[in-house]
Amino acid sequence: MAQERKRIVITGIGVLTPIGLTKEDFWDSLFNGKSGAAPITYFDTTNFATTFACELKGFSADSYIDRKTADRMDPYCQYAVIAADQALIDSGLDLKEIDPLRIGVVHGSGIGGMTTYEQQFKTFLERGPRRISPFFIPMLIPDIAAGQISIRHGLMGPNYATSSACATSLHAIMDAYMLIQAGMADYMVCGGSEAPITQMSVGGFNSARALSTANDRPQQASRPYDRDRDGFVMGEGGGSLILESLESAKARGAKIYAEIVGVGATADAYHLTAPHPEGLGAVNAMKTALKIAGIAPENIDYINTHGTATPLGDLAEISAIKTLFGEHAYKLNISSTKSMTGHLLGAAGVVESIACLLAMQHQTVPPTINLDNLDPQVDLDVTPNTPKKRNIEYALNNGFGFGGHNGSIIFRNGASL
């Protein structure tokens, strides 16, 4: 069945993360096991259970977007627009040569403009409803990033956001892949972004008991698979990919990072925030992706896991991998790059997909850092603390969100296409 489908490849990457504002710096940090965590500078953390996060460092929207335009965007939207700019440039696409109706954007956010919401709600409380900015709604809504990217570049094809919490940008990539296969577009900009380091968001995730509270050691706090993990570390940023058909990429001589060979999306149908204990939804998502790819589990070399460092979530995913991959689970390399970037929520899927693409390009598995004492229930090779040279032909990326949304995507190394 795979031969009837249009083959879709990735020809452009844009990424803004707490450990690098370009794909080169991002890879350099992944390779060197650098943590992006530090005390929060965006607000006064007095009385917060968690006082640190992975903020973008050395970032100023003004160096990418003119001031008036940037002022009318929530940070989440700025990150999306900048990542998309980078990806379009990286792809080498000449937009003047493309029918604008044939290029679209699917760019998501798990939360949307939380900073904007807080600022405007404060204005409302202090000064009344007539002082709410006319830009409040268009800055708040999680689809406006897709709209802004289209306006900036004149892209008139399909345009919307996905929103599935921490699986958001994986679903955005899947939708973009399906839109090209369905013949609705020839090129897609896809990805996601998040700017959740705000008082309400940190406070809310604290109340849900989801965040690490290791305030005395921020850089060691994100510790997936470690015995002493105590929750995720919040991160922010964005990522964007350019998708097109293999045929189109070859015809224009584009650099091909990878082919998207399989995608899977399922629901746990179990609990609001807790994962299914045996990772049933995750098994099903990975199984679907393998089936669409038409490959055996033994073909997968590397899995970039969801691996947020919550006590339950990490074990459920490991259990899912063992269920599906059997003996091969012990031959795979697995890593959670969230140990370095923190958890970028809606942007996690695309940023970690980019980690997979760069890992394939460099034939190196990025490590899971902060692994001092491996959880005895985790007996797989989670690539502790140092990167590992490995020929990666197929890489799989998982992302799971509150609500029980699961996404899995399988990439095939572009070097062999």
Partner 1 sequence: MTQAEIKDKVYDIIVSKMGVNKDQIKTESKFSDDLGADSLDTVELIMELESEFDVQIPDEDAEKIGTVQQAIDYIVSKK
The residue (of 134 and 376) whose beta carbon lies closer to partner 1 is 134
Torsion of Cα atoms, 410 then 369 then 338 then 402, to 10°: 90
- What's 7's DSSP letter? P
Q: Is 66 in the site for partner 1 (CB under 8 A)?
A: yes
Q: Is 134 in the site for partner 1 (CB under 8 A)?
A: yes
- Label residue 47 exposed, middle or buried (CB < 10 Å: 0-12, 13-18, 19+): exposed
The residue (of 41 and 63) whose beta carbon lies closer to partner 1 is 63
Terminal-residue alpha carbon distance, the chain: 19
166, 171, 190, 356: the catalytic one is: 166
Helix (H) or strand (E) holding 194: strand 187-194
Least distance in Å: CB of 61 to partner 1? Answer: 13
Judged by CB under 8 A, the residue of 24, 43, 60, 71 near partner 1 is 71
Q: Is 129 in the site for partner 1 (CB under 8 A)?
A: no
Judged by CB under 8 A, the residue of 1, 3, 47, 67 near partner 1 is 67
Q: Is 119 in the site for partner 1 (CB under 8 A)?
A: no
Judged by CB under 8 A, the residue of 22, 32, 45, 133 near partner 1 is 133
Q: Is 48 in the site for partner 1 (CB under 8 A)?
A: no
C-alpha–C-alpha distance, residues 34 and 105, integer Å: 32
C-alpha–C-alpha distance, residues 346 and 157, integer Å: 23
> Cα 214–218–219 angle (5° rounding)?
130
Q: In this structure, what are the phi and psi dihedrals at residue 238, rounded to the nearest 5 degrees? A: -165, 165
| 106 close to 176: Cβ distance less than 8 angstroms | yes
Q: Is 122 in the site for partner 1 (CB under 8 A)?
A: no
Of residues 305, 270, 211, the one with CA closest to residue 402? 270
Instruction: Determine the distance from the C-alpha atom of residue 222 to the mean position of all C-alpha atoms in its chain, rounded to a whole number.
Output: 16
Least distance in Å: CB of 135 to partner 1? Answer: 6
Q: Is 401 in the site for partner 1 (CB under 8 A)?
A: no
Judged by CB under 8 A, the residue of 5, 57, 122, 131 near partner 1 is 131
3-state secondary structure of 91: helix
Choices 46-54, 133-141, 268-276, 382-390; region in contact with partner 1 by CB under 8 A: 133-141
153, 276, 306, 405: the catalytic one is: 306
Least distance in Å: CB of 199 to partner 1? Answer: 24
Least distance in Å: CB of 151 to partner 1? Answer: 12
Choices 131-139, 145-153, 202-210, 370-378; region in contact with partner 1 by CB under 8 A: 131-139
C-alpha–C-alpha distance, residues 87 and 20, integer Å: 15
- What's 346's DSSP letter? G
Cβ neighbours, 10 Å, residue 372: 11
Q: Note if 190 is an active site residue.
A: no
107, 171, 276, 343: the catalytic one is: 343
The residue (of 151 and 182) whose beta carbon lies closer to partner 1 is 151
Q: Is 389 in the site for partner 1 (CB under 8 A)?
A: no
Q: Is 158 in the site for partner 1 (CB under 8 A)?
A: no
Instruction: Determine the distance from the C-alpha atom of residue 11 to the mean position of all C-alpha atoms in its chain, rounded to a whole number.
Output: 17
Q: Note if 343 is an active site residue.
A: yes
Q: Is 130 in the site for partner 1 (CB under 8 A)?
A: yes
Of residues 395, 380, 171, 193, the one with CA closest to residue 304? 395
| 146 close to 73: Cβ distance less than 8 angstroms | no
Q: Is 113 in the site for partner 1 (CB under 8 A)?
A: no
Structure tokens at 252: 């224009």
Q: Note if 362 is an active site residue.
A: no
The residue (of 62 and 379) whose beta carbon lies closer to partner 1 is 62
Task: Tell me the chain's radius of gyration from C-alpha atoms.
Answer: 20
C-alpha–C-alpha distance, residues 291 and 142, integer Å: 32
Least distance in Å: CB of 289 to partner 1? Answer: 42
Q: Is 44 in the site for partner 1 (CB under 8 A)?
A: no
| 65 close to 81: Cβ distance less than 8 angstroms | yes
Least distance in Å: CB of 64 to partner 1? Answer: 15
Least distance in Å: CB of 67 to partner 1? Answer: 5
Q: Is 135 in the site for partner 1 (CB under 8 A)?
A: yes
| 166 close to 81: Cβ distance less than 8 angstroms | no
Q: Return the active site residues.
A: 166, 306, 343
Where on the chain is the footprint of partner 1 (CB under 8 A)?
66-69, 71, 127, 130-131, 133-135, 138
